[in-house]
């Protein structure tokens, strides 16, 4: 099956700093990638849709200036959490859509903001 990787798997940062998370489709091209956030013991909440070569589409309530998404190539999307605060601590998961519209999920990135 298709493989999606995320880097880093874990990151701890100080409040006020910015953190970049990478999502890569390793063996297929993905024109669309999705970013999700998952708080402890909760389900996945869609944050935004990342479209290659165009601006991301954000879900209601998600600040686009705080969560910067860049989808510069068909295999890479990045999520930058700007001026991170402790409430941004969460498990961030990306997925990439294959040609037959099947979504493959990355292993997730655990962000802890001190």
Partner 1 sequence: TQLLEQSPQFLSIQEGENLTVYCNSSSVFSSLQWYRQEPGEGPVLLVTVVTGGEVKKLKRLTFQFGDARKDSSLHITAAQPGDTGLYLCAGVHSYNTDKLIFGTGTRLQVFP
Name the site residues for partner 1 (rule: CB under 8 A): 4, 6, 32, 34, 36, 41-46, 49, 91, 93, 95, 97, 101-108, 110
Q: Provide, rounded to whole angstroms, the least separation between the CB of residue 50 and partner 1.
A: 11
The CB-of-15 to partner 1 minimum distance in angstroms stands at 23
d(CA 113, CA 95): 23
Q: Considering the complex, state which of residue 44 and residue 62 has its C-beta at the smaller distance from partner 1.
A: 44
Residues 40/33, Cβ–Cβ less than 8 Å: no
Please state the closest distance from residue 93 (CB atom) to partner 1, in A: 5
Q: What phi and psi values does residue 87 have, to the nearest 5 degrees? A: -70, -10
Q: Residue 15 or residue 26: which is nearer to partner 1 going by CB? A: 26
Using the minimum distance from each CB to partner 1, give the nearer residue, 18 or 64. 64
Tell me the closest approach of the beta carbon of residue 68 to partner 1, in angstroms.
20
- Candidates 40, 53, 46; CA nearest to 87 is 40
Strand partners, 73: 76
34 versus 67: smaller Cβ distance to partner 1: 34
């Amino acid at each position: 099956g298709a493989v999606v990787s995320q880097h880093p798997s874990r990151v701890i940062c100080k409040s006020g700093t910015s953190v970049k998370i990478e999502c890569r489709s390793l063996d297929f091209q993905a024109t669309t990638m999705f970013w999700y956030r998952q708080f402890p013991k909760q389900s996945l909440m869609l944050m935004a849709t990342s479209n290659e070569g165009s601006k991301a589409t954000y879900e209601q309530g998600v600040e686009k200036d705080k969560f910067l998404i860049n989808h510069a190539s068909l295999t890479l999307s990045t999520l930058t959490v700007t001026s991170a605060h402790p409430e941004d601590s969460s498990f961030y998961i990306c997925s990439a859509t294959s040609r037959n519209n099947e979504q493959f999920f990355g292993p997730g990135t655990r962000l802890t903001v001190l």
